[in-house]
């Protein structure tokens, strides 16, 4: 698809960032787009694409060069998620979870020994997953019941996790459990769990509405033996890791939804210029022009919010409010734009022969995972007006 429809970002990119973005866009067009429809239909991610992600350095963008990573910025990771999601949201979320959740957690809270052991693998061969959610622990994240018992020379984990992105492909899991359920959030602790640890099993893969190629799986821990040195951060401080990592992840979801909206909009513009009714392209009609203009305006606003939040994170500024606002608004815009794109296509948009129905399905998850829209509103309200 021609790129002339893409609005230029109003948050200035450096020459290196522009080149990085253009390279990711070219890769997405040439390697991801041809596979997107089949992966969606089969509900399975093409493993050869993940291998290419590693070869291109997309799975360790912020990992320092001394560990085999790209030594890049959070902003660059966001650009990668946006450009991949413009073509396929499933591809975007694989890279998103790897960089904004798993690698970030290891970089921020890992010991020197943990970084030396795991970061080179995360940058070159291992996929990561972030395991927080449970059947009774969604928005109320700290109602989790997965237990961790101190057995002296190791930890023993028991419980079940649900809706874990990258679950099928992952080699490493950031696992959130409680060392003392009676202590509430003060018992929550984070662990690094490898796929091959005894007592750890990946359960069923969910059959989803959207981002179907991305694996969302159940995890089962039955006397899972975890080495003592695989505790991440401090005992009883896992709530801090969970909260702060998800704050960063929400900017990543904002970038994913930005890419979805951009991709749907480009399809709508192209179709409107090709589809003729009453003897002329429907893009000549003011009603269609106004719809496309409104969509483009909202996409540009989202892009500015996503880029600004990412810049704030790189500048070590407090970005919690901006991250919540970004995820909230980006998910709203992605759903509106994708829905409008379906309508511009008319009856064709409602069929699987055209790409906009997939963008519409993929957009819905943005309001749900890594904190629902209501949870984002609660965070924003607390930070702008105070109260509980």
Q: Compute the distance between CA of residue 298 and CA of residue 152 in angstroms, rounded to an integer.
A: 55
pLDDT digits (tens, 9 = 90+) for 11-25: 689 999 999 999 999
Per the structure, how many domains does the chain have?
3
Question: Which pLDDT score, from 0 to 100, does residue 325 have?
Answer: 98
Question: Which pLDDT score, from 0 to 100, does residue 30 have?
Answer: 98
* Spacing of C-alpha 281 from chain mean position: 37
- Cα–Cα separations (whole angstroms), residue 349 to 82, 107, 188, 269: 23, 43, 46, 13
Concerning whether 266 is annotated as a catalytic residue, the answer is no
* Spacing of C-alpha 280 from chain mean position: 40
- Cα–Cα separations (whole angstroms), residue 38 to 90, 192, 214, 251: 12, 33, 13, 28
35 and 74 inside one domain: yes
Question: Which pLDDT score, from 0 to 100, does residue 209 have?
Answer: 98
217 and 332 inside one domain: no
CATH of the domain at 285: 1.20.140.10
250 and 120 inside one domain: no
Question: Which pLDDT score, from 0 to 100, does residue 11 have?
Answer: 64
28 and 123 inside one domain: yes
58 and 95 inside one domain: yes
Q: Are 206 and 62 in contact (CB under 8 A)?
A: no
Is residue 7 included in any domain, yes or no? no
Question: Which pLDDT score, from 0 to 100, does residue 2 have?
Answer: 41
Question: Which pLDDT score, from 0 to 100, does residue 12 have?
Answer: 80
Is residue 347 included in any domain, yes or no? yes
232 and 333 inside one domain: no
**Domain boundary residue among 183, 216, 236?**
236
CATH of the domain at 89: 1.10.540.10
Low-confidence ranges of the chain (pLDDT < 50): 1-3, 5, 7, 9
221 and 351 inside one domain: no
Would you state the structure tokens that stand for residue 315, as one six-digit string?
Answer: 């500048």
**Domain boundary residue among 127, 146, 174?**
127
Give 165-227 as a DSSP string: ETTTT-SEEEEEEES-GGGGGGGEEEEEEETTSTTEEEEEEP--SSSTTS-EEEEEEEEEEEE
Q: What domain range is 312 assigned to?
A: 240-385
Is residue 2 included in any domain, yes or no? no
Q: Are 229 and 301 in contact (CB under 8 A)?
A: no
- Which residue among 83, 169, 322, 370 is the active-site one? 370
Q: Compute the distance between CA of residue 195 and CA of residue 192 in angstroms, rounded to an integer.
A: 10
249 and 363 inside one domain: yes
Would you state the structure tokens that stand for residue 78, as one six-digit string?
Answer: 């966001």
- Entry pTM: 0.95
Is residue 6 included in any domain, yes or no? no
Question: Which pLDDT score, from 0 to 100, does residue 347 have?
Answer: 97
104 and 75 inside one domain: yes
123 and 155 inside one domain: no
Would you state the structure tokens that stand for residue 26, as one six-digit string?
Answer: 């070219």
Is residue 340 included in any domain, yes or no? yes
Is residue 8 included in any domain, yes or no? no
- In three-state secondary structure terms, 164 is strand
Nearest in space to 68 (alpha carbons), one of 54, 48, 84: 54
Is residue 286 included in any domain, yes or no? yes
Is residue 202 included in any domain, yes or no? yes
CATH of the domain at 180: 2.40.110.10
Q: Are strands 200-205 and 280-281 parallel, antiparallel or unpaired?
A: unpaired
Give 151-162 as a DSSP string: -SSEEEEEEEEE
**Domain boundary residue among 85, 108, 127?**
127
Question: Which pLDDT score, from 0 to 100, does residue 386 have?
Answer: 82
Look at phi and psi of residue 280 and say left if phi exceeds 0, alpha if psi is from -120 to 50, else beta. Answer: beta
Nearest in space to 335 (alpha carbons), one of 295, 306, 375: 295
Question: Which pLDDT score, from 0 to 100, does residue 387 have?
Answer: 63
């Amino acid at each position: 698809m021609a790129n002339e429809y893409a609005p230029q970002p109003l948050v200035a990119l450096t020459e290196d960032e522009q080149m990085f973005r253009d390279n990711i866009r070219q890769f997405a067009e040439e390697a991801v787009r041809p596979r997107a429809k089949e992966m969606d239909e089969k509900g399975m991610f093409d493993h050869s694409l993940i291998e290419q992600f590693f070869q291109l350095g997309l799975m360790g963008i912020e990992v320092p060069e001394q560990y085999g990573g790209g030594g890049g910025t959070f902003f660059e990771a966001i650009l990668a998620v946006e450009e991949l999601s413009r073509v396929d949201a499933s591809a975007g979320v694989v890279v998103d979870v790897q960089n904004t959740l798993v690698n970030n957690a290891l970089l921020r809270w890992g010991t020197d020994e943990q970084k030396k052991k795991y970061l080179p693998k995360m940058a070159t061969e291992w996929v990561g997953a972030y395991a927080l959610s449970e059947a009774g622990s969604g928005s109320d994240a700290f109602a989790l019941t997965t237990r961790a018992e101190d057995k002296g020379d190791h930890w023993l984990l028991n419980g079940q996790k649900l809706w874990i992105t990258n679950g099928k492909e992952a080699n490493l899991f950031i696992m959130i459990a409680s060392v003392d359920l009676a202590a509430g959030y003060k018992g929550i602790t984070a662990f690094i769990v490898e796929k091959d640890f005894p007592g750890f099993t990946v359960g069923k893969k969910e059959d989803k509405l959207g981002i179907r190629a991305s694996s969302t799986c159940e995890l089962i821990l039955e006397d899972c033996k975890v080495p003592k040195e695989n505790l991440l951060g401090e005992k009883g401080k896992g709530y801090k890791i969970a909260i702060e990592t998800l704050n960063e992840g929400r900017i990543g979801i904002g970038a994913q939804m930005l890419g979805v909206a951009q991709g749907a909009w480009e399809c709508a513009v192209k179709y409107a210029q090709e589809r003729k009714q009453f003897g002329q392209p429907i893009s000549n009609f003011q009603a269609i022009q106004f719809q496309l203009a409104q969509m483009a305006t909202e996409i540009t606003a989202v892009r500015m919010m996503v880029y600004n939040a990412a810049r704030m994170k790189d500048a070590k500024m407090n970005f919690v409010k901006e991250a919540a606002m970004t995820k909230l608004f980006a998910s709203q815009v992605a759903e509106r734009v994708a829905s409008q794109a379906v309508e511009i296509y008319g009856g064709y948009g409602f069929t699987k022969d055209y790409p906009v129905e997939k963008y519409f399905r993929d957009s819905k998850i943005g309001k749900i995972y890594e904190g629902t829209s209501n949870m984002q509103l609660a965070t924003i309200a607390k930070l702008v007006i105070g109260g509980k």
